[in-house]
């Protein structure tokens, strides 16, 4: 970490520096990222994965823990799950963001999810006991998942999310993102989309073609004939604001409907700010992201593929069934959600394990991680408050 000063104010200033660096190509996103991160301590924590791992590097005792190695999410938090159309055609609820995915220690994901759980529940419930109970439940369900035990009953919010996702149509998706005007669809410029730089815009047809080729036999029929009707810079997420994200509208023909695609530029995993890489990674970062995502998920997103232009893009089709739970919209039982997400993460770690531990983590192992998470939650709550004291960027 560049600054050895671990005071909340120093770390808040470091986060501002990281925000500026991340949004340097599109400075107007700097204010937007700050606005999102100022909303709650959990929103701040969601958007500061690089800082989280820099803190672990500066305090290595907190990064230590029980064994277990394999594919990990990297930027694990309580909202890194959602509904999506999977490869099998089913609509599933699972992990859904793999920007920081890599091969690494399980404890990195478990610790980050534990801190996220504490901060999230504290933002919804005033009693500290609620947060502690939720994180204890989450981490035990993680152990159940990684041990191959059945999952808990799904929270009502998850069931409702899946029902909504199933009902959503292609027309719903297109009307919300690329409304039709004068017989032609285009992305609605504004909060969610803006124009690509000309040097990027000119590359979009070639990127789309390479994405189709990378799909191989999974490519839809007549994909080689797709034509780009519109392309825009897609603004989404918090931690990834500033990363080049290209939304592409492919026009329909006589036998197919309009389609939306997302090509997201890959970046180095934040995990390796604290944990050394355990194996040589593919030359193109996007390949590593897709390989790890496919290892972690039982039924990965449909038409997920890497575009091998260094550092590469992760490509996927946008389906109307994509949706996520937002804690700020209200969750009736954050403990139930934490239980579900913990088990989902454990199941994913079990699938993607490269060096599983010789025996399950003990109760003492789990308790030690909760103790570390409590310490880190207190630190990041303090960093968040210091961040809010710093002058906000002009809108």
Q: Which sequence spans correspond to the domains of the chain?
A: 8-163+332-389, 169-323
The mean per-residue pLDDT over the stretch 170-190 comes to 89
Specify the 3-state DSSP secondary structure of 152. coil
Q: What share of the chain is helix, strand, coil (3-state, %, to 5)?
A: 50, 15, 35
Helices (H), the chain: 8-22, 28-37, 41-46, 49-58, 60-63, 106-124, 128-146, 156-167, 170-177, 198-201, 204-215, 285-296, 334-351, 363-389
Per-residue pLDDT, 222: 84
The pTM score is 0.95
Per-residue pLDDT, 2: 47
Q: Is the pLDDT of residue 3 over 60?
A: no
Specify the 3-state DSSP secondary structure of 13. helix
Q: Which of 88-102, 314-328, 342-356 has the lowest mean pLDDT?
A: 314-328
Q: Which residues pair with 317 in a beta bridge?
A: 261
Q: Which of 289, 351, 280, 290 is nearest to 68 (CA)?
A: 351
Per-residue pLDDT, 183: 80
Going by C-beta distance under 8 Å and a sequence separation of 6 or more, which residues neighbour residue 241?
22, 23, 29, 32, 33, 36, 47, 235
pLDDT band at 254 (very low <50, low <70, confident <90, very high): low
Per-residue pLDDT, 197: 92
Residues 338-374 as b/e (b if ≥16 CB within 10 A, e otherwise) read bbbbbbbbbbbbbbbbeeeeeeebeeebbebbbebbb
Q: Roughly how many angstroms between the first and final C-alpha of the chain, as a whole number?
A: 29
Q: Is the pLDDT of residue 43 over 90?
A: yes
**Average pLDDT taken over every residue of the chain:** 93
Q: Which residues pair with 249 in a beta bridge?
A: 230, 260
* The pair of three-digit structure tokens given for residue 370, joined into one six-digit string: 């909760």
Rg (CA), the chain: 21
Q: Rounded distance, CA 384 to CA 379, Å?
A: 9
Q: Rounded distance, CA 313 to CA 240, Å?
A: 13
Q: What are the φ/ψ torsions at residue 359 (nearest 5 degrees)?
A: -145, 160
The mean per-residue pLDDT over the stretch 109-132 comes to 94
Per-residue pLDDT, 35: 94
Per-residue pLDDT, 367: 98
Q: Rounded distance, CA 18 to CA 110, Å?
A: 24
The torsion region of residue 68 among left (phi > 0), alpha (psi -120 to 50) and beta comes to left
The mean per-residue pLDDT over the stretch 199-203 comes to 93
Specify the 3-state DSSP secondary structure of 283. coil
The mean per-residue pLDDT over the stretch 372-388 comes to 98
Token pair 């230590």 in the structure block, residue: 64
Q: CB of 67 within 8 A of CB of 355?
A: yes
Q: Rounded distance, CA 242 to CA 267, Å?
A: 11
Q: Rounded distance, CA 365 to CA 143, Å?
A: 11
pLDDT band at 168 (very low <50, low <70, confident <90, very high): very high
Q: Which of 319, 304, 317 is nearest to 172 (CA)?
A: 319
The mean per-residue pLDDT over the stretch 192-202 comes to 93
Specify the 3-state DSSP secondary structure of 354. strand
The model's pLDDT over 150-166, given as tens digits with 9 standing for 90+, comes to 999 999 999 999 999 99
């Amino acid at each position: 970490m560049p600054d050895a000063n671990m005071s909340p104010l120093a770390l808040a200033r470091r986060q501002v520096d990281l925000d500026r660096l991340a949004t340097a190509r599109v400075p107007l996103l700097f204010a937007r990222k700050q606005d999102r991160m100022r909303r709650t301590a959990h929103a701040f924590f969601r958007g500061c994965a690089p800082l989280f791992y820099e803190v672990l590097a500066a305090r290595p005792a907190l990064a230590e823990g029980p064994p277990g190695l394999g594919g990990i999410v990297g930027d694990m938090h309580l909202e890194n799950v959602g509904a999506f159309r999977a490869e099998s055609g089913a609509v599933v609820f699972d992990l859904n963001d793999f920007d920081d995915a890599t091969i690494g220690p399980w404890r990195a994901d478990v610790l980050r999810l534990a801190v996220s759980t504490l901060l999230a529940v504290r933002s919804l419930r005033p009693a500290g006991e609620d947060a502690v109970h939720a994180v204890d439940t989450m981490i035990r369900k993680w152990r159940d998942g990684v041990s191959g035990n059945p999952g808990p009953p799904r929270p009502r919010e998850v069931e409702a999310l899946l029902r909504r996702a199933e009902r959503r149509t292609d027309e719903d998706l297109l009307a919300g993102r690329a409304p039709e005007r004068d017989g032609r669809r285009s992305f609605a410029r504004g909060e969610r989309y803006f124009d690509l730089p000309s040097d990027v815009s000119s590359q979009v047809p070639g990127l789309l073609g390479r994405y189709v080729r990378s799909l191989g036999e999974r490519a839809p029929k007549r994909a080689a004939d797709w034509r780009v009707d519109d392309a825009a810079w897609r603004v989404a997420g918090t931690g990834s604001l500033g990363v080049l994200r290209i939304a592409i509208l492919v026009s329909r023909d006589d036998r197919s409907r309009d389609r939306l695609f997302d090509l997201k530029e890959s970046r180095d995993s934040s995990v390796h700010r604290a944990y050394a890489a355990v194996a040589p990674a593919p030359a193109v970062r996007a390949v590593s992201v897709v390989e790890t995502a496919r290892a972690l998920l039982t039924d990965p997103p449909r038409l997920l593929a890497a575009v091998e232009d260094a550092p590469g893009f992760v490509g996927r089709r946008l389906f109307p069934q994509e949706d996520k739970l937002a804690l700020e919209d209200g969750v009736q039982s954050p403990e139930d959600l934490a239980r579900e997400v913990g088990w989902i993460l454990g199941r994913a770690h079990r699938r993607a394990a490269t060096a599983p531990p010789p025996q399950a983590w003990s109760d003492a192992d789990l308790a030690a991680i909760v103790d570390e998470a409590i310490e880190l939650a207190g630190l990041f709550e303090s960093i968040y408050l210091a961040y809010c004291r710093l002058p906000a960027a002009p809108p």
